[in-house]
Amino acid sequence: IRARLLEAEVVLVVSNRKAAFGLERAQKAGIPTLYFPLKPYRDADRSRAEYDADLAQKVREYKPDYIVLAGWMHIFSNNFVKHFPYRIVNLHPALPGQFPGKDSIAEAFAAYQRGEIKKTGIMIHLAPDERVDVGPVLATVDVPIYPSDTLEMLQNRIHQAEHRLLIQTLDRLIRGDE
């Protein structure tokens, strides 16, 4: 956004991890941040659904057009999702139907080493409910895996492609092309 790649305003950056680099970057850019950990809910035997409802209330105060999940590892229940119907954009480092959930890059790399796949990719999709890595697909891109790759090399290639695809996809959403 600072580079003017998107005609958008980030109204809030949220993380459930205190040391998240995204919080630091947002603070330096003057963007409001919210550190909202799950641990106090767990310690008080409160449910994830309560956490999600409370977080949704805080996020709603900022009136976002879209919620972008990039590096967010918590799976939201419908107590969060219902407040932002078809406005939650999820970035997943795998192609549709492949390697849902966390560790998808490592799973893809292992599948490549076993000869099961020749490429992996990235998917950006809307998250309409609490299911994991499903929903209307907004964009995908293939990411090749090379024989000389290490897991770290593949991770770096995927993260570079994620950034480009996320910017392109958000630009289309903002302009109303999706």
Residue 28 belongs to some domain of the structure: yes
User: Which pLDDT belongs to residue 61?
Assistant: 96
Residue 77 belongs to some domain of the structure: yes
User: Which pLDDT belongs to residue 7?
Assistant: 79
Mean pLDDT score of the chain, rounded to an integer? 92
Residue 128 belongs to some domain of the structure: yes
Domain range for 32 is 13-175
For the record, the structure tokens of 43 come out as: 């310690």
For the record, the structure tokens of 30 come out as: 């003057």
What is residue 26's three-state secondary structure?
helix
Domains: count for the chain: 1
Collect all residues with Cβ–Cβ distance below 8 Å to 130 and sequence separation of at least 6.
75, 76, 77, 78, 81
Give the mean model confidence (pLDDT) for residues 67-81.
Answer: 88
Q: b/e map of 35-64 (b: 16 or more CB within 10 Å)?
A: ebeeeebeeeeeebeebbbebbeebeeeeb
Q: Look up the CATH number of the domain holding residue 144.
A: 3.40.50.170
Q: Is residue 23 predicted with pLDDT exceeding 70? A: yes
pLDDT digits (tens, 9 = 90+) for 41-61: 999 999 999 999 999 999 999
Residue 53 belongs to some domain of the structure: yes
Q: Which residue has the higher pLDDT, 29 or 109?
A: 109
User: Which pLDDT belongs to residue 3?
Assistant: 57
For the record, the structure tokens of 75 come out as: 């799976």
| Nearest-angstrom CA–CA distance, 172 and 178 | 6
Residue 5 belongs to some domain of the structure: no
Q: Is residue 70 predicted with pLDDT exceeding 90? A: no
Give the mean model confidence (pLDDT) for residues 117-128.
Answer: 94
User: Which pLDDT belongs to residue 2?
Assistant: 54
Residue 3 belongs to some domain of the structure: no
Residue 20 belongs to some domain of the structure: yes
Catalytic residue among 74, 92, 125, 159: 92
User: Which pLDDT belongs to residue 152?
Assistant: 98
User: Which pLDDT belongs to residue 177?
Assistant: 74
User: Which pLDDT belongs to residue 131?
Assistant: 78
User: Which pLDDT belongs to residue 130?
Assistant: 80
Residue 54 belongs to some domain of the structure: yes
Is-catalytic flag, 92? yes
